[in-house]
Amino acid sequence: MSQKTRNVEIKARVNDVKDIIKKVAGLCNTKAEVIEQTDTFYKTENGRLKLREFKDGTGELIYYERPDVEGPKLSNYSKSMVIDPTSLKTVLQMALGAIGTVKKTRMLSHFNQTRIHVDEVVGLGNFLELEVVLSDNQKPEDGIQTAQMILEMLGVPASDLLSGSYLDCLKLL
């Protein structure tokens, strides 16, 4: 089943991962879920398409459109659960061609309508990602305000914000 939704997303470089994990735990008051993920990105004319593979052998096919600007940005996306990502990966590679892979260990926490990720990205380092999931009646400005409030609560300076994706950062190396 595919679902289409929107969120406001923001990424920031993390200099002190132990400190940010402690702050996120205090804010969320729950233990984070640890998720190992491998995202393979494919050539598309519009937006971005990635196949996300999980350690348990399942996956998600995710298409999204998001501007590459610093700070909070609106992301429109649709995703579909995949029970055989290995064979789908072969099909997508043959049909579209892969443009890169991002491997990460993600610590997922929730704060109200926001998914808070502390990511360790292979080859890049540690990052904080906020995804403020918008309801149908919410405006992007609502999500931007929420993301900025959480960044302030966590003490993340604007100078640490990223404009692009992890794949974009890896390509710059």
CB 10 within 8 A of CB 25: no
CATH architecture of 2-171: Beta Barrel (2.40)
Question: Tell me: the pLDDT tens digits for 143-164?
Answer: 999 999 999 999 999 999 998 8
CB atoms within 10 A of CB 34: 11
Record the pTM. 0.91
pLDDT at position 31, please? 87
What is the residue extent of each domain of the chain? 2-171
User: For residue 2, is pLDDT > 60?
Assistant: no
Q: Which residues face 126 on adjacent strands?
A: 120
Distance CA 62, CA 52 (A): 7
Question: Tell me: the pLDDT tens digits for 72-97?
Answer: 899 999 999 999 999 999 999 999 99
pLDDT band at 71 (very low <50, low <70, confident <90, very high): confident
